[in-house]
Amino acid sequence: MGGEQNEKKVKGYLKIAIRVFLGAVFIVSAISKMLTINSFEIFIFSFGIFSLNLSFILARLVISTEIFLGFMLITGWKQKITISLSLLLLAVFTVFLIYLIQSSKADHCHCFGDIIKMSNPASIIKNICFAFLLWLSTPSREINLKRRSLYIYILLFLSLGIPLSITPPAFFVSNWYAKRINYDEQLFNDLMAKNPELASGKKVVSFLGTNCKYCVMAAQKLSVIANKNGKTEQFVYLFYGTENEVENFFNEAGTPDIKGTVLDPDTFLKITNGRMPLILLVDNGVVVDKFSFAIIDDKTIASFLM
């Protein structure tokens, strides 16, 4: 009799351990995405389905969902609903991974952001294993607290608030970013006078550093916008770097169809005041709008190109 009770206790503790482990993995996954939020946003935007601003929101909703389910798994509250929602989330992710494999659109799904890169097949296997562990972990003993419903609402509020407060979407503070964009207008006008193609028609002129990670991510955003609108010929990249570095830049950013030119370093730095990336919308030699990396506006650029 004592042996059976001990066995039940061991199984009970094992179920709790599995459930807590899975909850911790969900939270680690959310934190990893949050730490590399820019690349996760671009990953969502890269499919050309959602606008940049909506991609910003969706990225944080995924993170919030993982945080909330992680905490709910750790506490053991509302186990049936939590396990069901967790299985549903894994199923959605798995279907998405199958799509990625079939379409060859991405090598990894950003399950753990850019911190831990797993191949899509490996991620599918991971999801299947996690689904099996979720099934094993229930029913199990929960953390027993009074006013549990209140704490669940607090967890939900925190789960939604953490990503928005730690990594607020750029459009929340776009005015702050916009005020900090400055460049030498006269020197840029001189550059256009020497390079008339920059002032011919409508051009999206981007000043990018070949070794600047935010410039690479800006180029990834611009590539999606250019391809989505079928206007790659109206995009021009002006680089700070060498020809060899430009080739590596295009390989990393995935924008081979956009024209790129290496500028004289002194000219580049004087025009941009050393701040990059700088994106200018030029209409027949007149700058009508400007962006930094954080506030690239796909809808404004698309409207400008029409």
pLDDT digits (tens, 9 = 90+) for 120-176: 899 999 999 999 999 999 888 888 888 889 999 999 999 999 999 998 888 888 888
d(CA 91, CA 127): 8
Task: Return the bridge partners of 239, or none.
Answer: 208, 262
What's the pLDDT score for residue 256?
66
Q: What is the pTM of this model?
A: 0.87
**Lowest mean pLDDT across 100-104, 194-198, 266-270:** 100-104
Task: Give all domains of the chain, ordered by start, each with its CATH number.
Answer: 2-168 (no CATH), 174-305 (3.40.30.10)
Residue type, position 49, single letter: I
Residue 52 near residue 221, CB atoms below 8 Å: yes
For residue 168, the SS3 value is: coil
